[in-house]
Chain A
Amino acid sequence: MPLLDVDNLTIQIPTEAGLLNAVNGVSFTLERGETLAIVGESGSGKSLTSLALMDLLPSRAVRKARSMRFDGIDLMAVGQRKMEDLRGDRMAMIFQEPMTSLNPAYTVGDQLIEALRRHRPVSRAVARERAVHLLERVGITAAASRLGQYPHQLSGGLRQRVMIAMGLMCEPDLIIADEPTTALDVTIQAQILMLLRDIQREFGMGLILVTHDLGVVARVATKVAVMYAGRLVETGPVEAVFGAPSHPYTQGLLRAIPVPGRTRPGEPLGTIPGQVPNLIGPLAGCAFRNRCEHATDACAAAIPERDLGPGHRMACVLDPVATAA
């Protein structure tokens, strides 16, 4: 039984201009010890998908799914109380903005200790010890002295590491990290990614990593899900997706980044012309077709899911052979 099994997740948000189809029929599974990276354009629904797993969507948003199971628990059916027990205990989330997700009114220590004591009957002293241990693990020096500090007294990188330590307090089975390193320096990014990878291996957790950075995906993830306009356009093992990117959007993304050794300095990079479609109201057919060079009339109809190899799937009418060129 997979740790996480999401089948046909849909998120709609009513807005002033109409119903926003933010996430549209997203399905994936995650095993223990696996790292799933979700990549895609800004606004493609990555954050909403991860928030939906934690039942933390904005109150206006409507979440639907054929089924959504975490370790056998039906997440669509559990009540508010049970969800609160799961959150922070067995499922933890590291948010995109560390500035806003720590409470400015409490010290770092109080927040870490509280994170454990909310779910486990342990003494403050035990919780404190664990907090110090984890702060050291995330690479914070003089960890004990940081416990008395308030979030605003920490730099962005430190705050982000505190967030990670907080996520780990209860040894969760699943960690969802939404762009945990976007605001950080490359050297700290590397430190934090290594740390997440080590901890995840050590405890056999499932990790979902939301990111823009294809380099991070390639180096850290075992599986990739490429999102575009609220849909999954390609999923698969990281070697397969990077080795034989098949969906035109995935190909476009990989061609757009400069890769030392592959792209020659100064040469034009591949681009994806055009813009993401407006997701308000229904959108039939392939959402990428206004930017796709292979688009045909068939792309305006329902798009079949194709199997490209073990676990490697895409949503596109093209034959994989035709696009692999």
Chain B
Amino acid sequence: MSTTSASGAAATAAAGFDSVPVRRSPLARFTKRAARHPGFMAGAFILAVILVMSIGAPLFTTHDPYAQDISKRLIPPIWHAKGTWEHWLGTDKLGRDYFARLLYGGRISLMIGAATVLLSGAIGTALGVAAGFFGGRVDMVIGYIINVRLALPVVLVALAVAALVGTSLNTVIVVLGLLLWDRFAVVARSTTQQIAHADFVAAARAIGCSTRLIVFSEVLPNIINPLIVVATLEMAHAILLEAALSFLGLGVQPPLPSWGLMISEGKQYMFFSPWVITIPGVALVALVLGINLLGDGLRDVTAPDNRS
């Protein structure tokens, strides 16, 4: 009974009988599902535009974002009657080209977002995985730390630190990184708890894998998708917080062109030269919107398959 006759094999040459159904690789499946998700595509597009323009800033403008020219203060952008192509987004109160500042400022926002998320992601994931994986007392202690962190008001703590140790780009990153890890920890903890009880983790133990190997090769790959979603949300969060801190004068220091700082520096001129606020404001909204769309899209696209 365990042999298939030759005629049997011949008769199946038709279709539908591939013993291994041709299925797409995980990456191909991801791309296909992503391509059909309008939110994901819109977010990815916005983000790609901002990334390319700020990283490749020198390709898009010849102006130096730091070059002051008091004779050209507050030139309005091109859509105003008095606008010039020379400075098509206008200039600020010190006569610096606003488009150049916007592009270079994008670098700062992206840098702060990425660096903060790397730092907070590492802290939160480590704590969350440890809590979820080891459970018991470890979980209790880490749960306590998470609750303490949740009780701290982020903005107030950041303000206090900035006031105490002074402000700089690095301070902002470190402070935000040390504050924004809670969501990583919570998500990593709950997903790890599920994975830690899966048979394949028991199998890995029974095989003799070390705890380190189990965490890195069995647990982490299975919780990475939700963490990436959290990372996008936290990145948007960090970018907004940096803007708020800079607006309050406690974030990035002039003359660095951060978008929050641009808004802050523009606030005295906003009645007569509103673009000094609206342009970085719109850029900030676009960036945060793009990241959030991408994050939501990622969640849908990487969701497990329905029965198909």
Contacts and interface: CB of A to CB of B under 8 A. Distances in A.
Interface of A: 15-17, 252, 255, 268, 270-275, 277-281, 283-285, 287, 289-297, 299-300
Interface string B1-14: 11111011111101
Contacts of B5: 293-295
Contacts of A280: 16
Given A255-B1, A289-B17, 17 more contacts: A17-B308, A270-B1, A271-B2, A273-B4, A277-B17, A278-B18, A280-B16, A281-B15, A285-B11, A287-B16, A291-B8, A292-B8, A294-B5, A295-B7, A295-B11, A296-B11, A297-B11
Interface of B: 1-5, 7-12, 14-19, 21, 308
Nearest to A252: B1
Contact of A290 (B1, B3, B17, B308): B17
Given A16-B308, A273-B4, A283 B11 contact: no
Nearest to B13: A300
A218 to B, nearest CB: 21
A273 B14 CA distance: 18
A291 B16 CA distance: 13
Given A17-B308, A297-B10, A299-B11, A274 B4 contact: yes
B1 A278 contact: no
Given A271-B1, A295-B5, A295-B7, A290 B12 contact: yes
Contact of B4 (A287, A293, A297, A300): A293
A289 B308 contact: no
Nearest to B21: A278
A290 B17 CA distance: 7
Contacts of B19: 274-275, 290
30 contacts: A17-B308, A268-B2, A270-B2, A271-B1, A272-B1, A273-B3, A273-B4, A274-B19, A278-B17, A278-B18, A278-B21, A279-B16, A280-B16, A281-B15, A283-B15, A285-B14, A287-B16, A289-B11, A290-B11, A290-B12, A290-B19, A293-B3, A293-B5, A293-B8, A294-B8, A295-B5, A295-B8, A296-B7, A296-B11, A299-B11
A296 B12 CA distance: 9
Contacts of B14: 284-285, 300
Listed from nearest, the 5 A-B pairs whose CB atoms lie closest are: A295-B8, A290-B12, A290-B17, A295-B11, A270-B1
Contact of A15 (B2, B17, B308): B308
B12, B18, B19, B21 — which one has the most chain A CB atoms within 10 A of its CB? Answer: B12
B11 A293 contact: no
A306 B19 CA distance: 29
B234 to A, nearest CB: 31
Given A275-B19, A278-B16, A281-B15, A290 B2 contact: no
Contacts of B11: 285, 289-290, 295-297, 299-300
Nearest to B308: A15
Nearest to B17: A290
A289 B8 contact: yes
A285 B15 CA distance: 11
Contacts of A291: 4, 8
A273 B12 CA distance: 14
Nearest to A269: B1
B8 A290 contact: yes
A146 B18 CA distance: 51
Nearest to A20: B308
